[in-house]
């Protein structure tokens, strides 16, 4: 980001950009046609978008056009980030003295800042960004300011790039092939030691899910049923899905979190299935839907990078499978899919994702997940 500082307003822009990037974790975004204005984005910030505009605004008509143009750009950002609402802080650096701005226009909060003292004395700004009073660079100017700001932003950028590189660099999957291998071994074992995967007695012998047997104390079936499959097509379909989704998600989240999410999703899927019907059921599809739920949570928090994938692949796959399962195929255990999907989302929220999660989200996710498991367990006993 190159600047030629020629005025105090330019210095003020540099101070603000430095603070929001290095302290508040905002990142610059490219906006087509934007001149003498800087757009910053933080999907988890108090304001999703901060716009710093140093263009001279002469009158109310020009201000209204500026707000109109800003709102159109924000509409594009909404589509890109799958957001219904994008609250924006619109900082105006250069306006005529007699111009009055509306504090709120369509989720766009506009403020006029013409010097450093205005920033550090504005109660509303200090309430939202309490660190700005002490962290804003105020004692440098000219070349010293440029060098300091540039070095700090570059260091922050390198740190962010290292985090993203660590997450998105392809890694060798270990847990995914292990889970696939277990499912194949169990499938073969059903033919060696039983009457095959289509035989009900054999399925029950190997640990298929069944409400009555779980109520009798065989709670381990909630987990063992994940690794059983009814027929070769069922096995191959699920294993292909696990191979495609699992390798990617394991790379994003790491081996331990991935395994926990798989098992917890399978558990939730088995629980909801047992609550809703008393048939003999089996399969890893509930756990696989949990991986989709996990990917949904992960993709939402990294939607700047995965937004198009989220819109064009992940969400459509989830919706199509649920709709097809509930409307066309009565043999599909849709409640296992739904339970797994919810379980995977909540479990990922509870465990946290690299570089994005905060403690409050993890605590909330843990509480809701525990309550859901407790509620379904209670319902299973009562039905």
Sorted by where each begins, the domain ranges of the chain are 8-168, 175-382
Q: Average pLDDT over the chain, rounded to whole?
A: 86
Q: List the Cα angle 262/268/269 in 5-degree steps.
A: 85
Of the candidate ranges 116-120, 286-290, 343-347, the one whose mean pLDDT is the lowest: 116-120
Q: What is the mean pLDDT of residues 107-133?
A: 83
Q: Retrieve residue 342's tokens.
A: 């919810």
Q: Is 330 a catalytic residue?
A: no
Report the topology of domain 175-382. Rhomboid-like fold (1.20.1540)
Residue 343 CB-density burial (10 A; 0-12 exposed, 13-18 middle, 19+ buried): buried
Q: Retrieve residue 264's tokens.
A: 């917890």
Q: Retrieve residue 24's tokens.
A: 């508040």
| Whole-angstrom distance, CA of residue 295 vs CA of residue 297 | 5
pLDDT (0 to 100) of residue 156? 73
Q: What is the mean pLDDT of residues 294-312?
A: 79
| pLDDT reading at 299 higher than 90 | no
pLDDT greater at residue 110 or residue 98? 110
pLDDT band at 221 (very low <50, low <70, confident <90, very high): very high
Q: What is the mean pLDDT of residues 64-93?
A: 85
Candidate list 109, 281, 285, 294, residue with the active-site label: 285
Candidate list 18, 229, 301, 337, residue with the active-site label: 337
| pLDDT reading at 2 higher than 60 | no
Contact predicate 362/350, CB 8 Å: yes
| Whole-angstrom distance, CA of residue 221 vs CA of residue 267 | 9
pLDDT (0 to 100) of residue 141? 63
| pLDDT reading at 301 higher than 60 | yes
Q: What is the mean pLDDT of residues 327-342?
A: 83
Q: Is 337 a catalytic residue?
A: yes
Instruction: Give percent above pLDDT 90 in the chain.
Output: 44
Q: How many CA within 13 A on the CB side of residue 281?
A: 31
pLDDT band at 15 (very low <50, low <70, confident <90, very high): confident
Q: What is the mean pLDDT of residues 22-37?
A: 80
| pLDDT reading at 57 higher than 80 | yes
pLDDT greater at residue 301 or residue 238? 238
Q: What is the mean pLDDT of residues 185-209?
A: 96
| pLDDT reading at 293 higher than 70 | yes
Phi, psi of 65 (to 5 degrees): -65, -40
């Amino acid at each position: 980001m190159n600047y030629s500082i020629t005025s105090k307003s330019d210095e003020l822009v540099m101070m603000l950009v430095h603070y929001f990037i290095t302290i508040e974790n905002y990142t610059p975004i490219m906006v087509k046609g934007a001149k003498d204005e800087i757009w910053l984005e933080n999907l988890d910030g108090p304001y999703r978008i901060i716009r710093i505009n140093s263009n001279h605004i002469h009158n109310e008509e020009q201000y209204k056009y500026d707000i109109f143009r800003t709102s159109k750009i924000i509409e594009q950002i909404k589509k890109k980030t799958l957001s219904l609402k994008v609250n924006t802080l619109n900082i105006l650096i250069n306006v005529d003295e007699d111009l009055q701005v509306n504090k709120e226009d369509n989720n766009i909060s506009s403020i006029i800042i013409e010097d450093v003292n205005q920033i550090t004395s504005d109660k509303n700004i200090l309430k939202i960004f309490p660190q700005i009073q002490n962290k804003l660079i105020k004692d440098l100017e000219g070349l010293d300011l440029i060098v300091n700001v540039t070095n700090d932003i570059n260091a922050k950028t390198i740190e962010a790039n290292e985090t993203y590189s660590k997450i998105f660099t392809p890694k060798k999957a270990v847990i995914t092939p292990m889970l696939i291998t277990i499912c194949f071994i169990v499938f073969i074992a059903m033919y060696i030691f039983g009457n095959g995967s289509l035989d009900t007695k054999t399925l029950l012998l190997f640990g298929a899910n069944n409400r009555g047997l779980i109520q009798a104390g065989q709670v381990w079936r909630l987990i063992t049923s994940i690794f059983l499959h009814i027929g070769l097509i069922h096995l191959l379909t699920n294993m292909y899905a696990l191979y495609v989704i699992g390798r990617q998600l394991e790379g994003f989240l790491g081996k331990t979190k991935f395994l926990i999410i798989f098992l917890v999703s399978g558990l939730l899927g088995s629980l909801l299935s047992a609550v809703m019907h008393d048939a003999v059921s089996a399969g890893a599809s509930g756990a696989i839907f949990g991986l989709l739920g996990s990917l949904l949570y992960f993709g939402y928090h990294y939607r700047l990078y995965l937004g198009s994938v989220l819109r064009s692949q992940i969400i459509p796959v989830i919706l199509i499978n649920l709709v097809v399962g509930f409307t066309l195929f009565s043999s599909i255990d849709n409640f296992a899919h739904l339970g797994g999907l919810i379980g995977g989302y909540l479990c990922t929220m509870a465990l946290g994702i690299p570089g994005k999660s905060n403690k409050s989200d993890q605590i909330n996710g843990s509480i809701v997940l525990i309550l859901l498991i407790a509620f379904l367990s209670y319902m299973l006993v009562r039905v």
